[in-house]
Amino acid sequence: MTKKPIILGVESSCDETAVAVLQDGENGNAKILSNIVSSQFEVHKEFGGVVPELAARSHLEKIDLITKKALNESKIKISDIDAIAVTAGPGLIVCLSVGLNFAKGLASSINKPLIVVNHLEGHALSPKINSKLEYPYLLLLISGGHTQYLSVEGLGQYKRLGTTIDDALGEAYDKTAKLLGIDFPGGPKIEKLSEKGDPNKFKLPKPIINKGGCNLSFAGLKTAILRITKNIKNEQEKFDLAASFQKTIEEILYEKTKIAFGEYLKKNNDRNFVIAGGVAANKGIRNILNKLSKEYDFKTIFPELSLCSDNAAMIAMVGIEKYKLKLFDKLDFKPNPRWALDKDAKFLKGAGVKL
């Protein structure tokens, strides 16, 4: 019986130092042998956001230790690893460089292939770790830095249907949290606060809700939050604003996803709908997209909660897929801080974007 490939994955695109060991399994999914994530929340807390230089220094200090921990937990010897998969972009270049250089050195020292991975492709394939997922499928990628609807035709084959023209959804959550006085990282805490509030108290804008196809915009919503927070009188109004924000996001995604369904079905009959990325852990968003999918006969597929935020298991998962196709990379591969999944998609960001 042929041994199933074992891949060590490394992730350092932002403020998580992560290493995982995965083994190829049956039916196209994989078995997680270890998945270690070291967060840097405390490092950046006082600054209200990620400081690239501090993040890179923290990666340098931890990556060797985290790798040893991942190997120990997996009970796999480094010599039994078949390839090293590593995030090479997009992300903060100083952070990407730490992980990529470490992976290059490790691959070279054990004489095993290097596989570079697009961080976004890691999110896109993350549900394949623990569910049977066939191509093609519709993907909504919602994270701190990215918000996109994509048609996933196969490994490395992506067609963007819509994207944010300004803030990413996770960024909108974090900025709203900051305006409400919630400590970094505040995005995940908004939903908790919203449970105590009245979602109908504040009427908030839904930018480009009736134009631009399934492109999205969140900057105008953030501006409205800023204006309201200047006049908040008590804690209850803070809860009400959080609830109103959560409800508005759900309504925007409901309307824009309906359009994305229509765009996707123009060229595909399959009705699998994957929602991935850090914001995919938000229960309210999960509920509204489950409801919509039932209405339109789509099947929603989410990664496990532990695989929504940045992790190395998803990087190793892409590594497994690439390893089976012998898609290896040279040791001189450079980090790519702006690495789009759909290289042919038009750049849509900034003031004056025409939709």
Q: Are 11 and 317 in contact (CB under 8 A)?
A: no
Burial class (CB in 10 A: 0-12, 13-18, 19+), 232: middle
Of residues 69 and 27, the one with the higher pLDDT is: 69
Per-chain mean pLDDT for the chain: 93
Q: Are 99 and 62 in contact (CB under 8 A)?
A: no
**Percent of the chain surpassing pLDDT 70:** 95
Q: Are 5 and 320 in contact (CB under 8 A)?
A: yes
- By mean pLDDT, which of 141-150, 301-310, 342-351 is the weakest? 342-351
Q: Are 193 and 187 in contact (CB under 8 A)?
A: no
Largest CA distance in the chain: 69
Q: Is the pLDDT of residue 206 over 90?
A: yes
Average pLDDT over residues 118-129: 96
**Which helix (H) or strand (E) segment is 74 a member of?**
helix 52-74
- What is this structure's pTM? 0.94
Say what the pLDDT of residue 2 is. 67
List the domains of the chain with CATH numbers: 6-129+307-324 (3.30.420.40), 137-302 (3.30.420.40)
* pLDDT band with cut points at 50, 70 and 90 for residue 352: very low
Comparing C-alpha atoms, which of 71, 9, 13 is closest to residue 277? 13
